[in-house]
Chain A
């Protein structure tokens, strides 16, 4: 959440760091368990952490967790991949190079980004059927906007002096992109990647409402319909964990790739 803070206090012992990292979550789980045990939370609506853990273990051992995860991850991945493939070039075009392109396309893209995915739900169904593609399209539609936005911001953050210097040294267009524009906007690009990936995971549940028969989102919806509360919480937990793992992965990747720059603090 706050890399600068944690880096500044890295000098403290590993135990303390662990405490800060997982203490609150552990406390929360403990309180939750106690509330369930004391009967403060009715069992029909809230599953206790132990029950969730048991259910998770059961799903993990009979292989159904794996089955659902794989299909969900691949949907989120394809939606995310399409969003990045379309969003980065679009953002670059918006952010620089053609000023008029931004003036004309900026408002239109903003207008389109306001088209609610839930409302488009039935349109996607009509256009793409109930197959894989409509789900991927829905995830794509939501996760492309943070990518476009951040890529545009990134290009705008490129120091014009660097571009001028490179150009006067005779750098070609492609080289300029690779050597100046991409590295300069890397922090923003990574922020966009993380946001897009997060959104892709967030949209799994609504996307899998559309006539899916497998996947974590489907698991949650199915549990909701059948009122299987432990199953509902287990699916939710799995999606949260995957989403956070993905976020951590991109943070790590950013630190590996963008070694020359202090990481921007972004919540």
Chain B
């Protein structure tokens, strides 16, 4: 069915399709400007990499141009070679695995404590929450570093103290945001649900929890960021594996490229983790999409 109406409309597309001789079929299959579109969307996606690529290029070339000191900031290729050497030996994956394990356990414990506590406090005991919130603010301001001796006392020098540092540093963002999220649920929704005869557990699961979830996710992301921040610190204090240990050991031995391997490894790990959380958030909060844009 030759449809000549589309030819004029999709001139560019029809020709770019490589089938100028058969105007009808060619233009029907490929909507106008499809290549243009693809090129643009590729460009749009690639653009987010331009900055990083430029930065990495600069890193590689700066020592040769004499802008930076080769010994202090070795070119990227040297760092990459070192990473490769560590990866081939399997050592790198061991460090990554043990760092991941610590962060995941620490965060899991923090979530396990913070979210039920926050929902319980803010959802059922608003007065108690108000009473406790100055104390929570105070405790959240205490640096986990300063508590390290206490953690050693309570959990020993092994994994326990490190997990406690991660737990402590991620607990308060998660807790505070979750409390805030529950408090910020629109009372109209609760009233509406009650008016339609929903009982308490139903209101809780259908209104309060979904309403608080965006804030809970924000808190979780902040908690994860601080967890990664302090993971490295904890591993520098006392550990014999993990990316923090890798960096610490390298800096003690003045093995500069290895420091950067650790720094990059931590950055990539942190970014990957955030991407995963974002994906999970999108999956869970699909219904929130429009409200958030507004």
Residue B167 lies at the interface, judged by CB distance under 8 Å to chain A: no
Closest to A203 in B: B143
| Contact A110 B146, CB 8 Å, known A122-B259, A267-B176 | no
Bound: A250/B167 CA distance, A: 28
Residue B135 lies at the interface, judged by CB distance under 8 Å to chain A: yes
Residue B161 lies at the interface, judged by CB distance under 8 Å to chain A: no
Question: Which one of B131, B141, B148, B244 contacts A118 once the chains associate, using CB atoms below 8 Å?
Answer: B244
Chain B residues 211-253 with CB under 8 Å of chain A are 219, 228-229, 232-233, 236, 243-244, 247, 251
Question: Which one of B130, B146, B267 contacts A20 once the chains associate, using CB atoms below 8 Å?
Answer: B130
Closest to B250 in A: A122
Residue B145 lies at the interface, judged by CB distance under 8 Å to chain A: yes
Bound: A42/B84 CA distance, A: 48
**B48→A104 contact, CB < 8 A:** yes
| Contact A202 B143, CB 8 Å, known A21-B134, A116-B232, A244-B138 | yes
B 126-157 binary contact with A (CB < 8 Å = 1; else 0): 00001111111110011101111110110000
Residue A232 lies at the interface, judged by CB distance under 8 Å to chain B: yes
**A46→B145 contact, CB < 8 A:** no
Complex interface: chain B residues within 8 A of A257 (CB): none
Shortest beta-carbon distance from B249 to chain A in Å: 11
Bound: A74/B55 CA distance, A: 32
Task: Tell me which of B32-40, B178-186, B190-198 binds A.
Answer: B178-186
Chain A residues 203-251 with CB under 8 Å of chain B are 205-206, 220, 224, 227, 229, 232-233, 235-236, 239-240, 243-244
Chain B residues 252-268 with CB under 8 Å of chain A are 256, 259-260, 262-263, 266-268
Closest to A201 in B: B141
Bound: A2/B126 CA distance, A: 12
Closest to A24 in B: B135
Closest to A27 in B: B135
**A239→B48 contact, CB < 8 A:** no
Closest to A123 in B: B259
Bound: A105/B49 CA distance, A: 9
Shortest beta-carbon distance from B178 to chain A in Å: 9
A contact residues, total (Cβ < 8 Å): 61
Closest to A117 in B: B229
Complex interface: chain A residues within 8 A of B51 (CB): 104-109
Residue A50 lies at the interface, judged by CB distance under 8 Å to chain B: no
Bound: A122/B260 CA distance, A: 10
Complex interface: chain B residues within 8 A of A202 (CB): 141, 143
| Contact A267 B177, CB 8 Å, known A118-B229, A119-B232, A232-B146 | yes
**A119→B266 contact, CB < 8 A:** yes
Complex interface: chain A residues within 8 A of B133 (CB): 1-2, 24
**A28→B143 contact, CB < 8 A:** no
B 268-285 binary contact with A (CB < 8 Å = 1; else 0): 101100000000000000
Complex interface: chain A residues within 8 A of B219 (CB): 267
Closest to B133 in A: A1
Shortest beta-carbon distance from B153 to chain A in Å: 4
Residue B42 lies at the interface, judged by CB distance under 8 Å to chain A: no
Bound: A107/B55 CA distance, A: 11
Complex interface: chain B residues within 8 A of A117 (CB): 229
**B48→A103 contact, CB < 8 A:** yes
Bound: A127/B256 CA distance, A: 12
Residue B65 lies at the interface, judged by CB distance under 8 Å to chain A: no
Closest to B268 in A: A114
| Contact A229 B149, CB 8 Å, known A110-B271, A111-B52 | yes
Residue A115 lies at the interface, judged by CB distance under 8 Å to chain B: yes
Closest to B176 in A: A267
**B141→A244 contact, CB < 8 A:** yes
Complex interface: chain A residues within 8 A of B132 (CB): 24
Bound: A213/B80 CA distance, A: 37
**A103→B176 contact, CB < 8 A:** no
Complex interface: chain B residues within 8 A of A126 (CB): 72, 256
Complex interface: chain B residues within 8 A of A227 (CB): 149
Residue A23 lies at the interface, judged by CB distance under 8 Å to chain B: yes
Residues of A bordering B, CB below 8 Å: 1-2, 5-6, 9, 19-25, 27-28, 42, 44-46, 100, 103-112, 114-123, 126-127, 142, 198, 202, 205-206, 220, 224, 227, 229, 232-233, 235-236, 239-240, 243-244, 265-267
Give 5 nearest A-B pairs by CB, closest first: A108-B51, A122-B251, A24-B135, A114-B267, A236-B146
Residues of B bordering A, CB below 8 Å: 44, 47-52, 54-55, 72-73, 130-138, 141-143, 145-150, 152-153, 176-177, 179-180, 183-184, 219, 228-229, 232-233, 236, 243-244, 247, 251, 256, 259-260, 262-263, 266-268, 270-271
Q: A115-B266, A202-B141, A240-B142 are in contact. List 13 more A-B contacts (CB 8 A).
A: A5-B130, A5-B183, A6-B130, A20-B134, A44-B153, A45-B153, A46-B153, A109-B51, A229-B149, A236-B146, A244-B138, A267-B177, A267-B219
